[in-house]
Structures are given as C-alpha cells and as structure tokens.
Structure 1
Amino acid sequence: MSKTDLKKKGVELPEELVIKIITRLPPKSIFRFKLVCRDWKLLMESSFFIDIYSKSNWSILHGSYRCTTSFLEEVELNLHGKTRNWSFTSDVIRKYTQNNVKIKEIWVVACADGLVLLCVLEEDMTKRYYIGNPMLSQWIQLSSPPYLAQYHSFVDSGLVIRKHNSAILGYKVIRIYSEDMTSIIRTWSWTFQIYSSDTGEWSVQHVSCPGLYELPYSKCNPVSLNGKLHWFDDMYSRRIIVHDFFSYDDKIRELPLPVLMKSTQHESSHNKIICTTSQGCFVLIEAELIEEVKSYNVRVWRLESDSWNWEKAWEINMACVELGVKCVPMAINYFDMDIIYLWDLDHKCYIACNLRTHTKTYGTRRHGAPCKEDSLCLDSYWYGLQFVPSLQVIPT
C-alpha cells in the first residue's frame, strides 16, 4: 500500500517514520519503490534520505584486493553491530561462469561516488574493465582500450565522476602511461588513456608537467574527488599532484605539502600518512609516533579546492583520549571530519573516536588468526578505498 493510498484511508505516516522503514530495506527494493508514487520518488531522491542511507552503510575497502572466486573483502568498521558485505565481484564472475570463460584474476581498481571500477584478467591474459553500481547489481563492460605500442607500460590509475545536484552525469576511466625506458629524450608530459561515458570510446590526452617527468610513487592509487585525481608524491619533492579530467586545462597542478607537515621527519617506521576524502575535501592525515607518551600525534589537513590552500582541521595526541601506540590511525569518517577510526592491535577491533566529545565506540572483536588490518595499519602510506552506496543508475 502506497503512501497515497494511506492518505485516502485517513492514515498519515510521519515522513521520518517512512524514511526509517525504507532505509532498512534492500537496495533493489528502495530503487523499485521510487516508482510507487511521486511523493516516494521525491523522498528517496532527496539529499536528506541519501545522507541518512549512506551514512549508515559506507565502508572502507582494501586498496588493491585481488581474487578469483570470492567476494571483495572489506575492512569492516562494524561499530554499530551491523555489517554489509558488498558483492562487488559476484555478478561479474557469474557472467563469466555462464559463458564458460575462465578468470585468472579480478580486482577493484577504484571507487568513486558509489560506482566501482573492476578489472578482469582472463586466462588468455585479455584484460577487461567493468563499471558498476553494486547496490543495483548493475555492471557495464567497457570497450577494449587500443594498444599504444610507443609506450613502455601503463597503470590502471582511477575513476572520476561528473555530477550535478548529486546526480551522476558521466564518468571517465583513467590509465596512465610511461614512456619507453630506453628513450633519452624526456617529454616533460604525462600521457593518459581515457574512457569517457559520453562517447563510449577511449582517447589519449597529453598533459604538460614541467620538471615532473617521473611519475609519483602512488600513481596506481590516487584519490578521486569532484572529477579530479590527487596523487601523493613522496619520492622527490613531497607534493600533491592534481589533475581535473573534466576541464580543458592541459597542465598538471603541483601543490606543496603543508609547511608544518613538510618539515616533519619520518624517522620512525610507525609514522604514516593517509590520503582520503571527508566532507567533500581532499584530506591528509599525518600520524606521528611520540615515543615519550607511547601514542600517536595526529594532524588532519584539509585542502580548500577554491583557493588551493591547506587548512589544519585539527591536531591531537591520542594519549589525551587514552589511546596508546597499539591503536593505529586508519581513516576518518567520510561525512564527519571530527571522527577518526583506529585499529586496536591488541583487541583486534576498530575504534571510532569523536574528537569533539572525546567519546569512543568499540567495534566487534576479531578472534583467531592475525587480521589483515594488522599489517595494513602499519603501512607508511595507506589509501583505503571508501565506498559510499549510491542509488544512481550508471550513465550509458
């Protein structure tokens, strides 16, 4: 019975109650209910509904997970007694099984605005790309990219999305190429091979980068935000490299790191830098181990996209909230920059710490063998893919 039918019978459900009921339903049901009546369609397309649904379901994923037959494993926060296993790969694997084609490897290249880019390596070494929305089990196979014989190698670099009023209008898949290593002449440019949903074709784009012919160490895992890819380069001059793939700019932008951050000497193997996004901003998390207090000093820097200036969102020594060296910073909340997530090495669980209230929430404890998070959390640079569920249909 629709909301309109209830009104005719004199029954009026509060909108807040309707939202609470609908957000508990499976994604496919939510998508179908948009067709029930105009009121429900407007409700489920409202930013208020999407915010509530997304905030209760978003996940942090391993940055380069590869598999053959299993689902993609996520780094589950599980802080509220509720987990969701997104079957990122099962739908694609099912298609291959039906066609009797064997898969050698399958992995997640990137996540952006609820869409996921998968790469499948078939047994004959053919590489194919799929763009999908796991919420709706909608997957589209991209056309095969043309072979560029003049380049030495390439890396599947990322996925960027074009949006308007929260609606996805288009996307681009990015591969970055290296020139022939035997070449003596440096072109001082980067070469991107780009698939555009607007044309359904691959194209080649050259962008100039004076003094920047070496690709950044983290070229294979940039952070996607507002149609831009952000690379963190710590190999040479310590900088952020940004390119907007939906603009007509043919130059790559170089940004120095925050002054205080740039002067920090990472002498300890426990120090780490995390690149991520929160509240619509590109964010750097700098976690420095302070031996005297056996805890981490954490700085969070936010990049203002309008001015391209850094702003320090906050700084805290985790000893102030009684979290020691065994509680390693891992991420911040996608929607709230004041909430930081840490992995507890002793108790094998996640901790969410609200820096406004200094309150802590503990997740479900893991038992048995060492967890993947144990090794991931100690990496010097960590790019956890953030998946925020979307009810948007993939543009075709």
Structure 2
Amino acid sequence: MPLMEKPDNREMDLLTDGLPPIPILLTKIPKISGTESLLEDLYAIILAKLPLTSIITFKRVCKQWKSLVESPFCRDLYLSMHQNSYYSSWSFMCRGCETETMAHYGSDNWCLTRSLGSYISSFLAEKFENREGRVVAYTDVGLILIYVVTNQSFYVANPVSRQCVEILPHNHAMERFWILGIVTRTEDEVVLGYKEFNNPISLNGKLHWLAHNPEYKDFLVSFDFYPSGDKGSDRCRVTPFPDLDKTTKFKRACTTCQGFLMYINIVSVAEVDKLCVWRLKSEGWQLVSEISTDIVTAGFDYIPLGMNPFDDKLVYFWRGNMEGQDLLSINLHIGEFMVHEELERSSDGRVLSSVGGPREIEYIKETFYSSFVLPRWLHPFPN
C-alpha cells in the first residue's frame, strides 16, 4: 500500500496545531475488486471517531480521501456517533470587525485548542497578508464574509477549515464603509448557497434588519431569500418590537438561539424592572421569559451580548472600564447569575473566555454583536 507524503501546507500545520498524533497512515485507498466498498466503510468508521480538525487533514491527502470524507455515509456515521455532542464552538463577535468579546470552545466535535477569534485573525494574516482583509459578517454555519479593502473584493470563508472563495463585488458607493451581512441556504445542516447584503442578522435563509418609522419607533424587517412552496407572498415581514409602549434599558438589538431570532431587554413593568426575552415566531413576538432578580433591579450597569446559541436559558452580559471587566451570565429558568473569570475551564474541558484588555472597551459599548458558530460537520464548501 503506497504511502502518501503529508502535503507541505501551512494551512494543515495551523489546523493540526496542538492535536495529538493521529495513529493512522495517510494512504491512498486501494482499488481491489470486491474489497473497495468494504475498505471505504472501514475507513469511514475510523474517521468518524476523530475530531473534525483531524478529518480536515485526511481530506487534503488525495481526491479519494476527499470523496470519502464528503460522502453522505461518512457524514451520517459521524453525526450518529456524536449525536450527544450538543454544543459546537462559538463566539460573540463585534459586528463589522474581528473583535471577539466572548469565546466558548474545547470539548466538542472540533476539539479546538483556541478560540474562533484566533482562527479568524491567523486566517486573515495568512490569506490576505497586507491586503487589509476585514470580516464584515458572521453566520451560525461556520462562514464569514470578508471585505478586502485594497481591491474592494469579497470572500466567503470558513476560517477553521481554511476554505475560501471569492464572490462578485457588492455594488455600492465606496465613499463610506458599509457593514455587510450574509444569508445562507441550508438543507439537513448542509450549506447550499449564500448571498451578501447590508447590516442584517442572518438566520435560516432569512435576513433581519432593525429599522425605524417616521415616529422613531423600532421595528424588524425580515426577508426570506429562499422561500419554499407557496410562501412567495410572505417573503417580507415587518414586525414592531413588543415593548414600544414601555420604558426599556438597552438599545434594541437581536440575538439568535436554537434556530430562532431572540430579543432581550430590561423592561419596567408596574414600576419593577424585569429581564424579558422574546422569540420571533410566524405570528409575531412570543414572550418566553420574564424574571426580576436583585441584580437586575439594583442599578444594573451591564450591556447584553446575547444568548447562548445552544441553550435558551443562558443570557450573557458584559461591563468594563479602564480598571477592569466582568462577564456575567443569568440563568433564565432559576433566576441565578454568575460572574465569570476571564478564562475558565469546565469539568468537561470546555473553555469560556472573555475579551482581555481595555483597548476595545469604548467600541464594545457602542457596537452590536453577532454569534459566530461552527457547524457540527465539515460540509462541502458551496461554489
């Protein structure tokens, strides 16, 4: 069985950094009559036991390995063997830049040893060098939208797998810099396509914009770019926010959780401050949580980052100044809160880290946040 040399590729070194040696020879899959299918099944079973960062290494060996890794059998086998791996690595990113305010990674399908923000920064430095590549949008399917300043071009990329493709330029006047967004179309968690637009939140093939009417009341504009069946007439929706007649603490912004768009604010109800969470449904906003705790009512000076993308009971908040910073989580089910360390590790090996250093504090206070989430499987990259 002829051995294949490991490709001389800096991308592979970045992917395998910190991983244990893989006890499998990187070989071409032999074509022997009657045994090829059996061997591919055996190789798929072996691959399914590895973290996704290691599977990426096999995918780069040759076309046969690439075909095996991208096969539905290998994908379904991997997902069935890791069906209890509910979480995937994710981060809260400042929208329109590469500033990472919070990261969650470690014990998941990817087995990352560092945060998604560090993968993004190293990918930009290697791929674009001095061409000033900037991340202008994030998704919950592992893709980012990159704008290259020097030649005004756009790229869609997965910063962990290093997959990257250039797309047609966005036509707009370049006198000012627009914060852009990307919408993806998925089927069984497989990304089938994407489009890019100005400053929205992307979720399930839809884009959502925060807008204002002439009376300066906030509402949400939602547009479905991939409608199915007879839903063409419902592609665009306008939904007023549910607390327009109440006093709120934060500027209105949305986050995502478990496939839904969520809205969080502290609302004054009967002269009592309550932390309220709404979920956007087809019929409008649905109130899913309303709690009043001592920390919310006693001069709450945190700003909301968003909800845990996989856990609808956890909301994260942040505060900071030149003297220090705090990351706070509130459990909506029991009303308890926890102040986190700058870097902490859970019993299952999962790492939680918050932004370190005061240089970005003023920007963080004024910006909006996007959750950037890796998928549970390395799907073929759409062209």
After TM superposition, the score normalised by the length of structure 1 is 0.64
SS of aligned partner of 1:337: strand
Q: Does 1:308 align with 2:296?
A: no
Pick from 331, 339, 343 the counterpart of residue 354 of structure 1: 331
SS of aligned partner of 1:372: helix
Q: Does 1:136 align with 2:136?
A: no
Q: Does 1:372 align with 2:371?
A: no
Q: 1:85 to 1:223 in 2, by over 3 A?
A: closer
Counterpart of 2:192 in structure 1 is 169
Matches within 5 A, 1:192-211: none
Q: 1:153 to 1:349 in 2, by over 3 A?
A: closer
Question: d(CA) in 1 for partners of 2:279 and 2:355?
Answer: 36
Q: 1:29 to 1:331 in 2, by over 3 A?
A: same
- Following superposition, the deviation at residue 221 of structure 1 comes to 2.4
Pick from 146, 152, 162 the counterpart of residue 127 of structure 1: 152
Q: Does 1:225 align with 2:217?
A: no
Matches within 5 A, 1:1-396: 22-23=50-51, 28-29=56-57, 35=68, 41-46=75-80, 49=82, 52=85, 55-65=87-97, 72-77=98-103, 83-86=114-117, 87-97=119-129, 102-104=130-132, 106-122=134-150, 126-145=151-170, 155=178, 157-174=180-197, 220-234=198-212, 236-247=216-227, 248-249=232-233, 252-258=236-242, 261-266=243-248, 271-288=250-267, 297-304=274-281, 307-319=282-294, 325-345=300-320, 348-365=325-342, 370=358, 372-373=360-361, 376=364, 378-379=365-366, 383-390=368-375, 391-396=378-383
Q: CA RMSD in A?
A: 4.1
Unaligned runs of 5+ residues in structure 1 are: 3-14, 66-71, 175-219
Which letter maps to 2:219? R
Which letter maps to 1:303? L
Q: 1:73 to 1:238 in 2, by over 3 A?
A: closer
- Following superposition, the deviation at residue 26 of structure 1 comes to 5.2
Which letter maps to 1:28? I
Which letter maps to 2:195? K
Task: Write the deviation string for residues 361-396 of structure 1: whole angstroms up to 9, x where unpaired.
Answer: 4433379853635652x44xx531111113223211
Counterpart of 1:217 in structure 2 is none
SS of aligned partner of 1:42: helix
- Following superposition, the deviation at residue 333 of structure 1 comes to 0.9
SS of aligned partner of 1:302: strand
- Following superposition, the deviation at residue 323 of structure 1 comes to 7.7
- Following superposition, the deviation at residue 44 of structure 1 comes to 2.2
Which letter maps to 1:282? L
Which letter maps to 1:173? E
- Following superposition, the deviation at residue 173 of structure 1 comes to 1.9
Unaligned runs of 5+ residues in structure 2 are: 1-22, 25-44, 108-112, 343-353
SS of aligned partner of 1:262: coil
Task: Write the deviation string for residues 224-267 of structure 1: whole angstroms up to 9, x where unpaired.
Answer: 11111111124534211111112345963211222xx111234x
Question: d(CA) in 1 for partners of 2:204 and 2:360?
Answer: 30
- Following superposition, the deviation at residue 300 of structure 1 comes to 0.7
Task: Write the deviation string for residues 56-87 of structure 1: whole angstroms up to 9, x where unpaired.
Answer: 4111111111xxxxxx3311246989751442
- Following superposition, the deviation at residue 119 of structure 1 comes to 0.6
Counterpart of 1:212 in structure 2 is none
SS of aligned partner of 2:253: strand
Q: 1:80 to 1:257 in 2, by over 3 A?
A: same
- Percent identity over the alignment is 26
Q: 1:75 to 1:29 in 2, by over 3 A?
A: farther
Q: 1:360 to 1:28 in 2, by over 3 A?
A: farther
Q: 1:251 to 1:159 in 2, by over 3 A?
A: same
- Following superposition, the deviation at residue 50 of structure 1 comes to 7.0
Which letter maps to 1:385? S
CA contact (8 A) 1:338 1:355 kept: yes
- Following superposition, the deviation at residue 278 of structure 1 comes to 0.9
Question: d(CA) in 2 for partners of 1:58 and 1:357?
Answer: 24
Question: d(CA) in 2 for partners of 1:161 and 1:351?
Answer: 31
Which letter maps to 1:133? N
Task: Write the deviation string for residues 195-216 of structure 1: whole angstroms up to 9, x where unpaired.
Answer: xxxxxxxxxxxxxxxxxxxxxx
Q: Which has the higher helix share?
A: 2
